[in-house]
Structure 1
Amino acid sequence: MASRAAGTYPPVPEPLAHPVVDTHTHLDICTGARLPLGAGEPEPEVRPAEDEEFPSLDFFFDTAQSAGVERIVQIGCDLPAARWTTELVTQQSVQGRTWMLGGAALHPNEAPRLAERGRLDDALTEIESLVASNDRMRVVGETGLDYFRTGEDGVAEQQRSFRAHIEIAKRTGKALQIHDREAHADVLRILREEGAPEVTIFHCYSGDEAMARECADAGYYMSFAGNLTFKNADELRRAAAAAPLDRLLTETDAPFLTPHPHRGKPGGPYLTAVTARMLAEVRGMSEEDLCAAVWKNAETALGSWA
């Protein structure tokens, strides 16, 4: 095993009292098979040192199983990653490893770049083909709006892409998984205007308690990641406490958003266990009861892994 796996990554937590699902992870980035969005260099926390290598897929599978994270949803959020994801979940299924489902979409930051090159419509067509033709691809996502990295000149194309993904999810009968960064009001407005798919999930939920109640009223799922554990995340923890139990999901967004006290290091699906324990603490529940609930929610939202 590469020294990066043994040294750079946080230790594997004690196994959970009940298994959980990482409903959003990027194994293409974790394993170095794909770089993060765009043609630039990976972000610092996912770049190996000069004398280290990216861990293998088996490293992430084995550590997840050891921590009680028995199911994973792999997300590809540009076209190359979407193709890689489709091939991976198919391969795993053929090999009898039913621990993984997949999802694909064009990340909101990708939409303006594609539109500028006149390729957005063709890319959306390919995304629909990938998710429609494969039963292991259960998610259209992550799509949505990101006003943090994209300036005003990219908003219109982000919104057009988001609306198109909503329609793809409804046509294919797949779950919609939303990326929402500094765009809460517009995301909720567009969902109302377009009519949300039957299963709508806010990946890495980042809203406040009031928004959590609005999402709950609309029947949306809220998936919490490692930022729930951050010291400055009191408002997020209040939202997690307010959300209905049957609307909660867990995830990592690995290799990003590694939970406290390992913030700044690369993460893997196994760290869902840390977030699940924090979620149980926030809600005043036993670890076993919380994990059993989010396990059931994931299957209700995404269907059987078998």
Structure 2
Amino acid sequence: ALDDALAEIEALAALGHVKAVGETGLDYFRTGPEGMAAQERSFRAHIEIAKRQGKALVIHDRDAHADVLRVLREEGAPERTVFHCYSGDADMARECAAAGYYMSFAGTVTFKNAAPLREALAVAPLELVLVETDAPYLTPAPYRGRPNAPYLIPLTVRAMAAVRGIDEDAMATALAANTARAFNY
């Protein structure tokens, strides 16, 4: 079934209005060794599809940072690679930045216990930073626990601007330009 699914993804990725392949990647939360191997095979195939079709690659990475980065190095990442709902630390942000990967931050950056995530945002080059809702989850504070939605993006942007020490308009302007570059608008 995976081969049939990948063929369909390739066909869809060839469409002009499709901007990215993904969300794809590795998720080791509650995943055994057999599942990890299947995910890696799928992830590698998605990387190749994104490269063949000239599309951005949107990565899901949960509890698998080292392996996601390893697979990207081994396969050669697409020109435009986005870490959806970035969850790494500052060291990983430096590694992503060196490779030119975009890092997209969600409401988690507002959580009190997310100091490592804010440290990652602080060291990520502004031109590689994106924002997202990851709706319906990861709602920014003070609405954590309620369903997330795009109307709450300003709370995340405000927190991101504070971490970066810039005003909200400057952050929003950078995020808009980065999004256009990342998704080839």
**Alignment correspondent of 1:270:** 151
**TM-score of the superposed pair, with normalisation by structure 2:** 0.98
* 2:126 matched residue in structure 1: 245
3-state SS of paired residue (2:31)? coil
> CA deviation digits over 1:201-232, x for unaligned, max 9?
00000000000000000000000001111110
Of 16, 26, 43, the residue aligned with 1:145 is 26
Match of 2:114 in 1: 233
Match for 2:22: what amino acid?
A: G
- 1:209 counterpart = 2:100: no
Q: In structure 1, what is the equivalent of residue 51 of structure 2?
A: 170
- Given the alignment of the two structures, is residue 222 of structure 1 paired with residue 103 of structure 2, yes or no? yes
RMSD after superposition:
0.8
Match of 1:188 in 2: 69
Taking the aligned partners of 2:30 and 2:164, their CA distance within structure 1 comes to 32
Structure 2 residue aligned with 1:120: 2
Question: 130, 134, 137: which is aligned to 2:12?
Answer: 130
* Alignment gaps of 5+ in structure 1: 1-118
Q: Deviations over 1:178-211 (max 9, x none)?
A: 0000000000000000000000000000000000
Count of aligned residue pairs for this structure pair: 185
Alignment-mate amino acid for residue 289 of structure 1: A
Shift of 1:162: 0.2
TM value normalised by structure 1: 0.60
Larger Rg: 1
Identity %: 65
Q: Distance in 1 between matches of 2:120 and 2:30?
A: 24
Deviation at 1:270, TM superposition (A): 1.7
Whose relative contact order is higher, 1 or 2, with alpha carbons under 8 Å and at least 6 apart? 1
The corresponding residue for 1:29 is none
Deviation at 1:263, TM superposition (A): 1.1
